[in-house]
A and B are shown apart, each in its own frame.
Chain A
Amino acid sequence: MLQSRGARTRRIALIGLSGALALSVTACAESQRDAGADNAGTFIFGAAGNPKMFDPIFNDEGETFRITRQMYDTLLMNKPGTAEVVGSLAEKWESSNEGKTWTFTLRKGVTFHDGTPFNAAAVCFNFDRWFNMKGQAAQSQMIYYGDVFEGFAANEGDAAGDPVYKNCEAKDDSTAVLNLNKAKGAFPAAFTLPSLSISSPEALKKYNADQVTQTGDSFSYSDYANLHPTGTGPFKFEGYDQGKGEITLVRNDAHWEKAKLDKLIFKVIKDENGRKQALKTGDIQGFDYPAPADYQLLRNEGQNVLIRPSFNVLYLGINQAGNPKLADVKVRQALAHGINREQFVKSKLAEGSEVATEFVPKAIAGYTEDVPKYPYDPEKAKQLLKEAGAEGLSLKFYYPTEVTRPYMPNPADTFTAISEDLKAIGINIEPIAKPWNGGYKDDVQKLGKHDLHLLGWTGDYNDAGNFVGTFFGREKPEFGFKNDQLFQALSAADGTQGEGPHAQAYQGVNKQIMEYLPAVPIAYPTPALVVGPKVQGMVPSPLTDERFNTVSLG
């Protein structure tokens, strides 16, 4: 009896002690949480994935660019909310020598985050670095540079032909002159590409930025890319906590457009539902690409859904090599007339989305209303099929799974809507669904196994060539057609100098493309981003080029 009483006393004491401990810890938690209330200037943005690394030149994906955009500046930038090219590190710019020379007048008094001065020598150092990059591993990862500048000083691997870059001269501290071997229509818009961000030469050297090595099936990057990214941007890199998936940036007080926020944190939340909940509970104050179906729900919660102007296109691809009937333009026209795009856009896409009449969105120079249009007309579609002797045509229609893209928020829905329309005009559809990273892109882009497929494109910079040149500039398994006249027209438009003539050349090309109809443009979807009710100053950009320095928490 005595023993059991003792045991009971001990038990009660233990419970009491743990209770007291829990209480004290709770009290402590409360007090510290109150103390942390001055974090009003910290903005937490939910990211869908981990960043790759922070050297912009080796990067090609949006989650990372969103972060590097805040830490770096480019020579030119897009005017917030538009695709219009305006100055950034360069205040003025002009081209001469038929587009082969670009002279930049640089902003004065700018310093890199490591305190070293930004000047023409630093600009040239960056361009020279990119051009002289050695090693297949490094070159293969400079996707945007390779695309715009068509090669390196010593081309390794697949890159061939004459590179566009010739040299860079620092005339004086604030004048950098870029000499090119040939004119290219992508300029000046391509100078806004986040890949072409200007890094501190000192930091690049100090942290061995060019050291890209192959390890097994992948690449590893330098300390510069992982730990010491150094630009001139409104925010400075503070750290990346991989265990918690948090990237922290702090304000760069020396920036000419000083940020309102003290701190900017990107928190990785891979599950979309998780991002939604985190926004609702205030754990984050914004995230990218909410599903269109959730817009209303989010608004009902008091969140701000910010619709971006469309800078992409969704199309129905046609592979002429897969089925000889598809080489007949009448059959392709029948497909275009057979799809009720108005209905699809209205019922399946987010607000603000529009029916596509050509392969460039409206914001792009070179867009024109003056193209052949193919309004919904199932009777005409049937008639065209009959004239082409293609009644009862059977087509393998590929569509991707395990993916959502800004131009295709729900591939299965898109497929269903379009295939139902096509069935209604008498086409037999054989649906083939494949995972995006598990064979879809291979089958469609490399092997051309399909007859029809769904794909799209988000523009990188304000140039029509970035759209139509990418799709139809040369023979590709994706479309299975060869049309030298069209290929030449695209090449000529790319080389046309001057804003007006350049746009005009692409207007002509867009008209030709819509006459030839190698594929059917479906829609210009509008992606969105969502921010909490207290967030002010976030300007949605068609190029997903949102700068967080204008953001504040009300």
Chain B
Amino acid sequence: MLRFIVRRLLQAIPTLLILSILVFAWLRALPGGPAGALLGDKATPEKIAELNQILGLDQPIFVQYFKFLGRVLTGDFGNSLISTQPVLSEIGFALPATLELSIAALLLAVGLGIPLGYVAARFRGGFLDNTTIMATLVGVAVPVFFLGYLLQFIFAEQLGLFPVGGRQDTLIGATNVTGFAVLDGILTQEWDASWDAIVHLVLPAAALATIPLAVIVRITRASVLDVMNEDFIRTAQSKGLGAPTIRRRHVLRNALLPVATTIGLQTGLLLGGAVLTERVFNLNGIGSLLAEGIERRDYPRLQALILLGAVVYVLVNMLVDISYGIIDPRVRVR
């Protein structure tokens, strides 16, 4: 397993290198530059030219790239043009919000998706199955931001059951330990703060979970149906094994393999959804950083975020591969 992990990590290096070149070239090909973003509204062409020279942006692009690469290798991604804070510390501040949201959404999607898909498959063609299929169709089709606004309108504005946005009530005065609001409340025993953070997470997590939930339900359902038609199930049945045992040991276990792949892919995609969800619910996470970075051409921030995203994607895929080995021992042998 260790060799497998090391090999996968080594394979990731050229991927990330190529990506860094693409990102670098793409950002510099965009019209408007960092100098304009840095100088803001009162930027004059002369001041922009002066700043480009100070920042070395008038140098050949490959010189700029190698300087950038040299800095990145030492862990320096530069400072954000917008906030002037080091990009890595910005990401450090924003990451807890995104992780909290993504984990909550993933728990919701997996926790509900697998049982729902399984139940739908078991009662194939029935009322429950048909309803689930229809609901998942709607779930996949509704854009996250629309759903976000809809949930906000119904549950926050009209019914007043949940807060409209943000991570925590401003006046709650929670102590910041790790940056994870729910966890911090537990660590400091400020239950009020922890509960408040959870309440704030409900709507955004529900909005973000909808698409992965729908996908997981559908994949689980299809996969379970597939497995139930396999020969070994018939063998198990003919051996006289009880239905619950067959379902638990054979059907579910085998059906989970494609579901795990889907969960992995959906985890990667969650970040895309998080961009919109965070914006709608004002969560100041990675998604918000990215959206603002694109709007205002914040090169250092975008470079770091895209490369970080790629690293996360590589890692998640690696975890999925490892989980294959755990779910299905045959993969380890191959």
A residues neighboring B (CB under 8 Å): 25-26, 28-29, 32-33, 36, 39, 42, 44, 49-53, 60-61, 136-137, 140-141, 143-144, 147, 157-158, 214-221, 226, 241-246, 265, 267-271, 273-274, 277-278, 280-281, 283, 402, 405, 434-435, 437-443, 445-446, 458, 460, 476-477
3 A-B pairs closest in CB distance: A216-B78, A439-B31, A446-B45
Could you say which residues of chain A place their CB within 8 Å of the CB of B157? 277, 280-281
List residues of chain A with CB within 8 A of the CB of B176: 241, 243
Q: Is B152 close to A, CB under 8 A?
A: yes
B300 partner, pick from A216, A434, A445, beta carbons under 8 A: A216
Decide if B165 touches A278 in the complex (CB within 8 Å).
yes
Give B163-203 as 1s and 0s: 1 = Cβ < 8 Å from A's Cβ atoms. Answer: 11111111111001001000000000001101110000000
Closest to B190 in A: A32
Interface residues of B in 65-115 (CB under 8 A from A): 68, 71, 76-86, 89-90, 93-94, 96-97
For B141, the chain A residues whose CB sits under 8 A away are: none
Give the one of A29, A214, A434 with max B CB within 10 A: A29
Report which of A29, A219, A268, A405 forms a contact with B284, defined as CB distance below 8 A: A268
Question: In the complex the two chains form, is B53's CB within 8 Å of A29's CB?
Answer: no
Query: Which residues of the partner chain A approach B44 to less than 8 Å between Cβ atoms?
Result: 445
Q: For residues 11 through 41 of chain B, which have their beta carbon under 8 Å from a beta carbon of chain A?
A: 30-34, 36-41
Chain A interface: which of B254-262, B289-297, B316-324?
Answer: B289-297
Docked Cα-Cα span, A281 to B158, in Å, equals: 10
A343–B78 alpha-carbon span in the complex (Å): 49
Bound-state Cα–Cα, A93 to B200, Å: 53
- Docked Cα-Cα span, A215 to B301, in Å, equals 13
A405: chain B residues at CB < 8 Å are: 41
- Contact B282–A439 (Cβ < 8 Å): no
Question: Cβ of B55 and Cβ of A217 under 8 Å apart?
Answer: yes
Q: How far is the CB of B149 from chain A (nearest CB, A)?
A: 8
Contact B288 A274 (CB under 8 A): no
Contact B170 A49 (CB under 8 A): no
Q: What residues of B have a CB within 8 angstroms of the CB of A42 in the complex?
A: 171
Please determine whether A270 and B34 come into contact, CB atoms closer than 8 angstroms. Answer: no
Known contacts A53-B84, A140-B50, A242-B90: A442-B156 contact under CB 8 Å = no
- How far is B51's CA from A140's CA once the two chains are assembled, in angstroms? 7
Q: Are A60 and B39 in contact (CB under 8 A)?
A: yes
B231 within 8 A of A: no
Chain B residues closer than 8 Å to A244, beta-carbon distance: 166-168, 170, 284
* Contact residues of B between 92 and 149, Cβ < 8 Å to A: 93-94, 96-97, 149
B54 at the interface (CB under 8 A from A): yes
Interface residue B314 (Cβ < 8 Å from any Cβ of A): no
**Option from A25, A216, A226 in Cβ contact (under 8 Å) with B71:** A216
B295 close to A218 (CB less than 8 A): no
A281-B156, A441-B43 known; A39-B171 Cβ under 8 A:
yes
6 contacts between A and B (CB under 8 A): A136-B54, A157-B50, A216-B68, A277-B157, A281-B160, A458-B41
A283 partner, pick from B54, B77, B170, beta carbons under 8 A: B170
Task: Using CB atoms, name the residue of chain B closest to A438.
Answer: B32
A218 to B42, CA, bound (A): 18
- Asked whether any CB of chain A lies closer than 8 Å to the CB of B279, the reply is yes
B32 & A157 in contact (Cβ 8 Å cutoff): no
In the complex, what residues of A have CB within 8 A of residue B227's CB?
none
Closest to B30 in A: A438
Is B332 among interface residues, defined by CB-CB distance under 8 A? no
Q: Is the CB of B77 within 8 A of A29?
A: no
Q: Are the CB atoms of B282 and A274 closer together than 8 Å?
A: yes
Given A157-B54, A217-B34, list of 20 further CB < 8 A pairs? Answer: A25-B195, A49-B292, A51-B83, A53-B84, A140-B51, A141-B38, A143-B42, A147-B42, A216-B300, A243-B96, A243-B176, A271-B279, A274-B164, A278-B164, A283-B165, A405-B41, A440-B32, A442-B32, A445-B45, A460-B42
Structural contact, A218 and B84, CB atoms closer than 8 A:
yes
B176 CB to nearest A CB, Å: 6
Are B300 and A217 in contact, with the CB atoms below 8 A? yes
**Within 8 Å of chain A (Cβ to Cβ): is B57?**
yes
Q: Which residues of A contact B297 (CB under 8 A)?
A: 437-438
Q: What is the chain B residue whose CB lies nearest that of A446? A: B45
Chain A residues within an 8 Å CB radius of B42: 60, 143-144, 147, 460
List of B residues within 8 angstroms of A36 by Cβ? 171-173
Is B46's CB under 8 angstroms from A217's CB? no
The reply to whether the CB of B214 lies closer than 8 angstroms to some CB of chain A is: no
Q: Is A157 within 8 A of B284, CB to CB?
A: no
A226 to B90, CA, bound (A): 13
Q: How far is the CA of A52 from the CA of B39 in the complex (A)?
A: 12
B34: nearest chain-A partner, CB-CB: A217
Q: How far is the CA of A270 from the CA of B81 in the complex (A)?
A: 16
A28 touches B93 (CB 8 A): no
Known: A218-B38, A270-B282. A140 touches B47 (CB 8 A): yes
Q: Chain A: which residue is nearest B168 at the CB level?
A: A244
Whether a CB of chain A sits under 8 angstroms from the CB of B49 is yes
Residue picked from B39, B192, B300, most chain A C-beta under 10 Å? B192
Bound-state CA distance A158–B45 (Å) is: 12
